Amino acid sequence: MKNNDLVFSGFDKISVDEIEEDMLHLSPKIASGDNRFLMNDEEKIEVIENHFRGIMKALGLDLNDDSLKGTPKRVAKMFVEEVFSGLNEKNKPEITLFENKYQYNKMLVERGITLFSYCEHHFVPIIGKVHVAYISKGKVIGLSKINRLVQYYAKRPQVQERLTVQIAEGLKKAIGTEDVAVLIDAVHLCVASRGIKDTNSSTITANYSGKFINEETKNEFLNLIR
């Protein structure tokens, strides 16, 4: 047996070299540099399915079981098409802007946006709420687009600090204003379901820019989301 062969009790031998050759066969382009966007979704699903099948075998699971045999494909499709779809720029929402005809120059707050993301350290969920506010400089954004922008950045392996900044920067770029505030309050299952197993704590991060750096404006935002 070669050093790079993996053997699981009760299962066929799996060669790491064979897996790598299979990946190259699926898409020769992945041999160079960052390949996240060089493979199409079908190719990504096939590669992830093969690797996850190996993980399940390593855990000693019987992939002939009716309940388990379809799991590698299900997980691969979930990763690519759902929970990590934000890694693909083609899924970035198109932003619809409207003229601020009513000359509304106060803050607009979208609070309680549902957050589902995944911790990049352990690949377990981050669950919480996102609160966003902005002050128009002539354009207003369709309200659902704020939610979609949040979900786009959330649907990738994340750390909460980075996610907070990405949402703020994405909104500033979309609307054309620096007057943006973002606050996230979330529970990390890497804390709640493993390790310290603390189910009572949550993590809060915030990003303020433009007029929201002013304490009075910031406090108005915080009072509104409460």
Q: What confidence tens digit (pLDDT) does each residue in 144-191 have? A: 999 999 999 999 999 999 999 999 999 999 999 999 999 999 999 999
Secondary structure of residue 177 in the 3-state scheme: coil
Residue of 43, 122, 169, 178 marked catalytic: 122
Give, for 192, the enclosing helix (H) or strand (E): helix 189-192
Q: Is the pLDDT of residue 211 over 80?
A: yes
Is there a catalytic annotation at residue 21? no
- Residues of the chain with pLDDT > 90: what percent? 82
pLDDT score, position 4: 43
pLDDT score, position 69: 97
Residue of 119, 131, 151, 166 marked catalytic: 119
Answer for the pair 45, 73: CB distance below 8 angstroms, yes or no: yes
Predicted structure pTM score: 0.83
Give, for 160, the enclosing helix (H) or strand (E): helix 160-175
205/220 Cα distance (integer angstroms): 17
Q: Which amino acid is at 165?
A: V
Please name which of 138, 137, 167, 165 lies closest in space to residue 152, comparing C-alpha atoms: 167
Is there a catalytic annotation at residue 190? yes
Is there a catalytic annotation at residue 131? no
For the stretch 63-94, pLDDT in tens is 999 999 999 999 999 999 999 999 999 999 99
Answer for the pair 86, 156: CB distance below 8 angstroms, yes or no: yes
DSSP state of 104: -
Mean pLDDT of 119-143: 96
118/165 Cα distance (integer angstroms): 16
Question: Where along the chain do its domains lie?
Answer: 5-83, 97-225
Q: Is the pLDDT of residue 10 over 70?
A: no
75/52 Cα distance (integer angstroms): 8
Is there a catalytic annotation at residue 18? no
For the stretch 111-120, pLDDT in tens is 999 999 999 9
Is there a catalytic annotation at residue 151? no
Options 3.30.365.10, 3.30.1130.10, 1.10.510.10, 3.40.640.10; CATH for 97-225 is 3.30.1130.10
Mean pLDDT of 27-47: 69
CA distance between the termini of the chain = 62
Please name which of 80, 201, 202 lies closest in space to residue 130, comparing C-alpha atoms: 202
Residue of 151, 158, 160, 166 marked catalytic: 160
Fold of 5-83: GTP Cyclohydrolase I; Chain A, domain 1 (1.10.286)
- Between 31 and 107, residue with greater pLDDT: 107
